[in-house]
Amino acid sequence: MVVAVAEESRGADHARTWVEQAKASYWCLVDTEHRVADLYGMVNVPQAVWIDEAGRIVRPPETAGSTDHFRRMDMTTRTLAPELAQARQQARTDYLAAVKDWVTTGRHALPPDAVKRALPKLTPEIAEAHARFRLAVWLQRNGRAAEAAAHFAAASRLHPDSWSMWRQAADLEAVGKAGGPEFWARVQALGDKPYYPPPDLPGFAAPRKN
């Protein structure tokens, strides 16, 4: 079964449009405090975790079909060249095919020791970052925006790899900010580090830069 989780601190109404557009036939949960990201070590969206019928993780959090092709977008028109758009779509198709292959054949599942090595490590800083994020969400919801902003900023400093926390905080401050100039400046600052690390599956690799 598929369970989709929307990391949306503004509540279900802000996620509803996307659920309805997808005509989803699977469970769609709304995680206002990003607790699923905390539990599984997710740092971006979309990410996926594969869990078998016994409840064991067989693939830790990984990029689920998205790629870094967007970094080669024409910023004037906000569009991708046709070949880049096609490559991005192919990555989505290939990831879905890998999931189906696992369900029917068991391929692509990792052994327990490999899963354990690949699971994101929880540090005191990351634990504090998630606690501060949840506190900030509560403060924002209760009209204490200035205090919330301070805790959102602290969460991002403590866990800089979490794009989910930074983008959520930006969007709570002003809708659209999460994809604005500050976002692109942060992406540029990555240098050669991928924004969407490709999953460790056959046929997946980071897109080459021009």
Render pLDDT for 20-53 as a digit per residue (tens, 0 to 9): 999 999 999 999 999 999 999 999 999 999 999 9
Whose tokens are 């659209």? That residue is: 176
What is the mean pLDDT of the segment spanning 101-112? Answer: 96
Per-residue tokens: 113: 């020791």
- The overall average pLDDT reported for the chain is 94
| Predicted pLDDT at 41 | 96
> DSSP secondary-structure letter at 61?
E
- What are the phi and psi torsion angles at 48 (to 5°)? -135, 150
Q: What is the pLDDT of residue 210?
A: 54
Domains of the chain (ranges; CATH) run 124-189 (1.25.40)
What confidence tens digit (pLDDT) does each residue in 61-103 have?
999 999 999 999 888 888 999 999 999 999 999 999 999 999 9
Q: Phi and psi at residue 166, in whole multiples of 5°?
A: -65, -45
pLDDT in the model for residue 209: 59
Give 3-state DSSP helix, strand, coil % of the chain, rounded to 5: 50, 10, 40
Q: Is the pLDDT of residue 191 over 90?
A: yes
What does the pLDDT read at residue 153?
Answer: 97
- For residue 78, the model assigns a pLDDT of 84
In DSSP terms, which residues pair with 57 in a beta bridge? 51
